[in-house]
Amino acid sequence: MGHLRHRSLWSIDDLSRVDLATLLETALACKMASGPLHSLRGRRIVVLRERSDGPHAAAFERAADALGATITIVPPPVGIDGAARLLGRLYDAVDCVAMEPTVLERIEQSAGIPVYNGLSAKHLPTRVLSALLGLVEASRKPMQRVCLACVADARKPAVAGLLYAAGLAGFELRIAGECRLSARLMRKLQVVARDSGARVSVIDSPGEAAAGADAVLRPGCRDARTLATASSALRVVP
């Protein structure tokens, strides 16, 4: 992951096709490893979030420990710039949970270390990457052979983000005509498809769009964790 070192992550839009493939391949390798990798040995990560308990905090701490990193959870500071400069001297990276992009930008500028957009309600980079990883892992296919159908509302950030990430990865995308796909997202998908080889089609019938797909984004998908697949034998719920 050499070219991704010292990089912040705010949105899937900030990643290139090579970036995305590297992240997914590295994550799969970590999950398949028989023991601790310690690839982050000695690294110190500070997590800015209101609560230090809960399932997300516990999962983050377990993952950091498995990679050899140590984390410290503190409440978001009131004085952003001064606190960010201090964090930059004490830690190697900052994970900001549910914070506005403008605040993240100020933290990155003052801290001078990578800043990650964790569990944001707007760009959802970690949730989208998690869903995409689960889909690739469960399908057991090369990314260019995975087919994702969408019969959900493509105006929702999680749905739009996952469609874009899947297009960037080179998936086949079948989008039902009733999904309210914006013209802007369609243009973005067409642009990334030229590089990734993704096949993007809009199909009038939801049933036809979902038939034979490896995974289906269904109505009611409010975030990337509610991803459901077309086959009950291939259930993906990150």
Instruction: State both tokens at 216.
Output: 């289906």
State whether 108 and 135 are in the same domain: no
Would residue 235 count as lying in a domain?
Answer: no
Total residues found in the chain within this entry: 238
Would residue 170 count as lying in a domain?
Answer: yes
pLDDT digits (tens, 9 = 90+) for 214-225: 888 877 654 444
Would residue 124 count as lying in a domain?
Answer: no
Would residue 39 count as lying in a domain?
Answer: yes
Contacts of 219-222 with CB under 8 Å at 24 or more apart are: 219/151, 219/152, 219/153, 220/152, 221/152, 221/153, 221/156, 221/158, 221/159, 222/156, 222/158
- pLDDT for the residue 190: 92
State whether 12 and 55 are in the same domain: yes
State whether 137 and 110 are in the same domain: no
State whether 146 and 195 are in the same domain: yes
- pLDDT for the residue 49: 83
State whether 9 and 111 are in the same domain: yes
State whether 63 and 113 are in the same domain: yes
Would residue 32 count as lying in a domain?
Answer: yes
Which of 118, 151, 184 is the endpoint of a domain? 118
Counting the structural domains of the chain, the total is 2
State whether 22 and 81 are in the same domain: yes
- pLDDT for the residue 230: 36
- pLDDT for the residue 191: 92
State whether 7 and 104 are in the same domain: yes
Residues 5, 167: Cα–Cα separation, whole Å? 24
State whether 38 and 84 are in the same domain: yes
Query: pTM of this prediction?
Result: 0.75
CATH of the domain at 13: 3.40.50.1370
Q: 140: domain range? A: 131-226
pLDDT digits (tens, 9 = 90+) for 128-187: 888 888 888 888 888 888 899 988 888 887 788 889 999 999 999 999 988 888 899 999
Q: Are 199 and 193 in contact (CB under 8 A)?
A: yes
Which of 118, 149, 164 is the endpoint of a domain? 118
State whether 194 and 221 are in the same domain: yes
Which of 97, 118, 139 is the endpoint of a domain? 118
State whether 29 and 136 are in the same domain: no
State whether 40 and 75 are in the same domain: yes
- pLDDT for the residue 222: 47
The pLDDT of residue 207 is above 80: yes
Instruction: State both tokens at 99.
Output: 């914070």
If residue 95 lies in a helix (H) or strand (E), which one and from where to where?
strand 93-97
The pLDDT of residue 65 is above 70: yes
Would residue 167 count as lying in a domain?
Answer: yes
Would residue 28 count as lying in a domain?
Answer: yes
Would residue 99 count as lying in a domain?
Answer: yes
